[in-house]
């Protein structure tokens, strides 16, 4: 009988590798915030190193974290007041011989995930917070890679910096939009195909739901619009802090979780909001306000419209090919429950249906009920 694989935790061997100057570190020395078989995030709240603050956060992964740490360092260079600095990055060997990567950042005390309070805030405070997030997006887009200091490990995340590239550490870096799109299809096993045409490429769905042509000029223009993007700016990846002297009023404290960040046309990040709605983001008010506030950052030229169409086609094709997937069913039911539909304006994304008023926010309890309903429909739960 095969042994059940346990979730990743920091054993004494890993802890001694990360903190060689400290003895006696063990299970009582840290607090696990979240972990899976391949990842673990934990905090320590006592002095471990002279150069470290007392409160620190450590991320462990079975895959390499060096490039993600370098990405976060680039973000810190642009947003030093909002991005936690990377204090250390390296590898360690666990007691059972498993190699793990780690990086260390400060633990931000007296903060809360914005997701936990977003629906309790008044409209004015929500708009203030979103405007702060959008300002951060603008600052990230201003990053000039040619002027980044070498000490920020630029070569680890953006090889041959004189050459425009698109992508991130997770999916890889590419010298063209076409290469990037082909990699997306390969990585996601999407039932779509890309074919060469006289003046560019055409993306077609095997599900017969459409096609998008991108000329060579479109592809070149998109490559010239590549900027630094977070790609997962949801309320669960934002820390907020209560404003001093103001009850129930919060300000932006930090932007975290840079695993999806990289270099893309902003149309890519803008389109991710549509595909994530009802899955990794279940707050329509957050989605709607983000789209409204970032609309002006999207270059309104045809190549961006085509890229958004292409990405939407890829997403829809994949989901149609796996109709019994729990996530696919959840998203469809969530959209029905939220009473939303596609906007008649192309860049509008999803909007509330006409005459829907006083809609109650979707809660964690709602999520559990909907998940159980789907599992029962699929015969996975009785």
pLDDT, the chain, mean: 92
CA 219-304-198 angle, 5° bins: 35
Rounded to whole angstroms, how far apart are CA atoms 75 and 259? 12
Rounded to whole angstroms, how far apart are CA atoms 367 and 361? 11
Tens of pLDDT, residues 81-117: 999 999 999 999 999 899 999 999 999 999 999 999 9
User: Is residue 215 helix, strand or coil?
Assistant: strand
> What would the mean pLDDT of 266-275 be, rounded to a whole number?
97
The residue ranking higher by pLDDT, 162 or 229, is: 229
Tens of pLDDT, residues 271-298: 999 999 999 999 999 999 999 999 999 9
Give the residue among 268, 193, 197, 199 at the shortest CA–CA distance from 227.
Answer: 268
Task: Map out the domains of the chain with their CATH numbers.
Answer: 12-106 (3.30.200.20), 112-316 (3.90.1200)
Tens of pLDDT, residues 334-360: 999 999 999 988 788 999 999 888 789
Q: How confident is the model at residue 6 (pLDDT cuts 50, 70, 90)?
A: confident
Structure tokens given for 11: 């054993």
């Amino acid at each position: 009988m095969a042994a059940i694989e346990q979730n990743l935790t920091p054993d004494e061997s890993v802890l001694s590798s990360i903190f060689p100057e400290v003895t006696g570190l063990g299970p009582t020395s840290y607090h696990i915030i979240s972990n899976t078989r391949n990842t673990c995030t934990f905090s320590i709240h006592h002095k471990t190193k002279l150069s470290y603050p007392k409160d620190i956060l450590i991320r462990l992964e079975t895959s390499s974290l060096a490039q993600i740490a370098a990405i976060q360092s680039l973000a810190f260079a642009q947003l030093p007041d909002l991005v936690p600095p990377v204090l250390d990055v390296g590898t360690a060997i666990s007691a059972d011989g498993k190699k793990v990567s780690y990086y260390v950042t400060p633990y931000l005390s007296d903060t809360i995930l914005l997701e936990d309070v977003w629906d309790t805030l008044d409209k004015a405070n929500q708009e203030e917070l979103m405007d702060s997030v959008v300002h951060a997006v603008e600052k990230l887009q201003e990053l000039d890679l040619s002027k980044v200091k070498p000490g920020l490990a630029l070569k680890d995340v953006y090889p041959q910096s004189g050459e425009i590239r698109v992508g991130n550490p997770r999916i890889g870096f590419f010298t063209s939009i076409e290469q990037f799109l082909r990699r997306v299809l390969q990585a996601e096993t999407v039932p779509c195909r890309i074919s060469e045409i006289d003046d560019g490429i055409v993306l077609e769905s095997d599900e017969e739901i459409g096609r998008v042509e991108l000329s060579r000029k479109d592809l070149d223009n998109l490559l010239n619009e590549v900027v630094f993007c977070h790609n997962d700016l949801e309320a669960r990846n934002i820390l907020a802090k209560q404003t001093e002297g103001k009850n129930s009023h919060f300000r932006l404290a930090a932007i975290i979780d840079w695993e999806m960040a990289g270099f893309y046309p902003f149309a890519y990040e803008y389109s991710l909001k549509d595909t994530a709605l009802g899955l990794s983001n279940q707050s329509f008010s957050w989605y709607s306000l983000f789209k409204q506030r970032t609309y002006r950052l999207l270059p309104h030229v045809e190549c961006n419209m085509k890229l958004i169409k292409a990405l939407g086609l890829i997403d829809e094709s994949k989901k149609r090919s796996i109709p019994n997937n729990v996530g696919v069913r959840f998203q469809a039911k969530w959209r029905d429950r939220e009473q939303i539909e596609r906007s008649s304006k192309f860049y509008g994304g999803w909007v509330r249906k006409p005459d829907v008023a006083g809609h109650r926010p979707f809660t964690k309890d709602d999520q559990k009920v909907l998940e159980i309903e789907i599992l029962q429909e699929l015969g996975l739960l009785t």
